[in-house]
């Protein structure tokens, strides 16, 4: 039971953070000020891609948990999601963590926390 809770929490964090990315896209782009239309489009695209990727990671972990959390495919999903969340965390530490905007500093914390919850959900 506790492992299912951990897996669902590990799925929920990136889903919620991804949804927050999607809802905040327009205001984040505005924060960059006067930049070219191409740069606005690139920032918009990147922000949406990260949001969708996070929602997808959470959704696939949740689906694996609800369908068959002990199956071979589920274990592969958990492992790959763990790896991807930590890759995103490392990228965020090297880039977004260095800016003054506080929500960027939360990314590596949220990604790492979610990956640890998934790992604990598998091994507890």
> Digits of tens for pLDDT over the chain (124 positions)?
899 999 999 999 999 999 999 999 999 899 888 999 999 999 999 999 999 999 999 999 999 999 999 999 999 999 999 999 999 999 999 887 777 777 778 899 999 999 999 999 999 8
Give the residue from 57, 67, 73 showing the smallest Cα distance to 118.
57
Q: How far is CA 105 from the centre of its chain?
A: 13
For the chain, give every domain's residue range: 2-123
Tokens found for residue 93: 């530490």
Q: How far is CA 92 from the centre of its chain?
A: 11
Find out whether 76 and 118 touch, Cβ atoms under 8 Å. Answer: no
Query: What phi, psi does 70 have (nearest 5°)?
Result: -100, 0
At residue 69, the pLDDT reads 93
Can you give the pTM of this predicted structure?
0.92
């Amino acid at each position: 039971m506790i492992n299912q809770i951990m897996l669902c929490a590990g799925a929920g964090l990136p889903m919620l953070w991804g949804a927050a990315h999607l809802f905040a896209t327009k205001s984040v782009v505005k924060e960059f000020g006067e930049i070219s239309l191409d740069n606005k489009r690139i920032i918009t695209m990147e922000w949406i891609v990260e949001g969708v990727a996070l929602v997808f990671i959470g959704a696939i972990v949740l689906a694996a948990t609800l369908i068959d959390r002990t199956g071979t495919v589920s274990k592969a999903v958990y492992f790959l999601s763990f790896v991807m969340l930590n890759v995103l965390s490392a990228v965020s530490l090297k880039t977004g963590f260095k800016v003054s905007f506080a929500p960027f500093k939360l990314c590596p914390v949220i990604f790492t926390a979610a990956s640890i919850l998934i790992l604990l959900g598998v091994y507890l």
